[in-house]
Amino acid sequence: MNKLIVLILVIAGLVYFGYKNKPEEEKGKIIYGEARVSFNFPGREIEGVAVGQRYEGNDCDLNNSTNDFLKACIQDKVCVQTKFECKESVDQKYLHMLNKSDASTHYVHLTAKNEPLKGVVLFWGLTMDESKAVCKKVVTDFNSDKRSKFIAKCI
């Protein structure tokens, strides 16, 4: 479970902080970053998904440390597949989640403190109790970090 929590934090960082500290007029149009990680747990199919708003024109590549972490995750056979992309639109269910709508699972909703950006982090394949427990843990970890640039809420 601890590896799962660490991966959640990494995925959220990948998607959510795809902008640099530029003046507002230089940041550009808001697009979406989407990261997916499939986990290799015996008898379970679990997919971690993070969707976040980003500014168009910033690099949409994984940063080196995150990429190294994901490669290690795959090498350790915890993650079986990773995907990261930027795009102009996302599935309607994620748009609803970005607006804090209820979903069939609990998820982490992220709101930037100093930017008009939002994100969500969730896991498909967990039971409702598991998703609630993971959500609460992640929200506690995010909100207790004084350096955090966002506020997390469990939906």
CB atoms near residue 51 (< 10 Å): 26
The CA-atom distances, in angstroms, between 140 and each of 5, 44, 46, 78 are 11, 26, 22, 24
pLDDT at 136: 93
- Of the ranges 10-19, 111-120, 123-132, which is most confident? 123-132
Asked if pLDDT for residue 9 goes beyond 80, the answer is no
* pLDDT tens-digit map of 11-35: 555 554 444 444 555 567 888 888 8
Q: What is the mean pLDDT of residues 49-61?
A: 76
Round to whole Å and give the CA distance between 48 and 137.
15
Q: Where are the domains of the chain?
A: 2-154
